[in-house]
Amino acid sequence: MLATSYRTAYNEDHEAFRDTVRRVFAEHLTPHMDEHEANGIVPRDVWKKMGDAGMLCMTVREENGGLGLDFGFNCVLTEELSYLGSSAGFTLQNDITANYFERLGTPEQRAKYLPGMVSGDIITAIAMTEPGAGSDLQGIRTTARKDGNHLVINGSKTYITNGQNADCVIVVAKTDPEKGAKGISLVLVDADTPGFERGRNLDK
Ligand SMILES: Cc1cc2nc3c(=O)[nH]c(=O)nc-3n(C[C@H](O)[C@H](O)[C@H](O)COP(=O)(O)OP(=O)(O)OC[C@H]3O[C@@H](n4cnc5c(N)ncnc54)[C@H](O)[C@@H]3O)c2cc1C
């Protein structure tokens, strides 16, 4: 574990949070890491422990059920995960999906998902990559076509962090193939949506 006392990026509150993170990881994550790696999944009860300790979606504003902290707290958590060598997908929820919900979501979507994402009751994922499209995201083939007041999505995704236990997946799909990058949308797909299927758990 690196000594962090000489760095100026963090204040006392960040360092107090780091102590909490180390304590909670030591109790609930470190002893089970081999099992998580072997099974390729971090079980839901561990997510709950993280949520209970205030270690999920720390930047989410109070009115959306969060603590309204600065991004430095996310950085502390990411550093501590890295020191452990854990690939747990908490950072995806903390750093990426929470921001999509908070900045781009409707008030209804924020109310439906964010409090659960903070508490660890809701696990999220973002599905961009496809078997035939990675860095060049414009090459995705997944489409979302309007059908009345529904969207019908066709396509498959791969390498999705938290994909095996996500309750809600932000799916990147082409809604207007003529418009290039501007014709790509983010679609919220609850895992219990008819037709949604999880693939094989990849060793990644
Ligand atoms: C641990 C892990 C977690 C992931 N989690 C997610 C997730 O949650 N959601 C999700 O959607 N995806 C996820 N991915 C997929 C990840 O986003 C893709 O692997 C990434 O976009 C690269 O795509 P690719 O693997 O198809 O590689 P490619 O795009 O085929 O690239 C292969 C190589 O070519 C290089 N390359 C590509 N284009 C160029 C270029 N124009 N010029 C020069 N070099 C280039 C790349 O740097 C790379 O070295 C995850 C991947 C990993 C490994």
> How far does residue 135's CA lie from ligand 1's centre (Å)?
5
Identify the residues whose C-beta falls under 6 Å from ligand 1.
92, 125-129, 134-135, 159-161, 204
How many angstroms is it from 14 CA to the middle of ligand 1?
Answer: 32
- Count: domains in the chain: 2
The pLDDT value given to residue 4: 65
Half-sphere exposure of 185 (CA within 13 A, CB side): 16
Kindly state the average pLDDT of the residues 17-46.
95
pLDDT tens per residue across span 62-93: 999 999 999 999 999 999 999 999 989 999 99
Does residue 195 lie within any of the structural domains?
A: no
- Rounded to an integer, the average pLDDT of 110-129 is 98
Distances (CA, A) of 131 to 167, 193, 197: 22, 22, 16
**Assigned domain for 161 exists:** yes
Global ipTM: 0.95
User: For the chain, how big is the Rg over CA atoms in Å?
Assistant: 18
Is residue 6 domain-resident? no
Claim to verify: residue 114 and residue 150 sit in the same structural domain? no
Query: Considering the domain boundaries, does residue 202 fall inside one?
Result: no
Q: Is 160 exposed, middle or buried (0-12, 13-18, 19+ CB in 10 A)?
A: buried
pLDDT at 181: 85
pLDDT surpassing 90 at residue 156: yes
Distance 133 CA to ligand 1 centre (A): 8
**Cα 130 to ligand 1 centre (Å):** 10
Residue 67 CA to residue 37 CA, distance in Å, equals 30
pLDDT score, position 2: 62
Ligand 1 site-directed mutation target among 42, 93, 129, most atoms within 8 Å of CB: 129
Identify the residue whose C-alpha is closest to ligand 1 atom 23: 134
46: domain CATH number is: 1.10.540.10
Task: Assess contact for 186 and 149: CB atoms under 8 A.
Answer: no
The answer on pLDDT for 146 being more than 80 is yes
Which residues form the domain of 27?
12-122
Smallest Cα–Cα separation from 139: which of 184, 106, 105, 102?
184
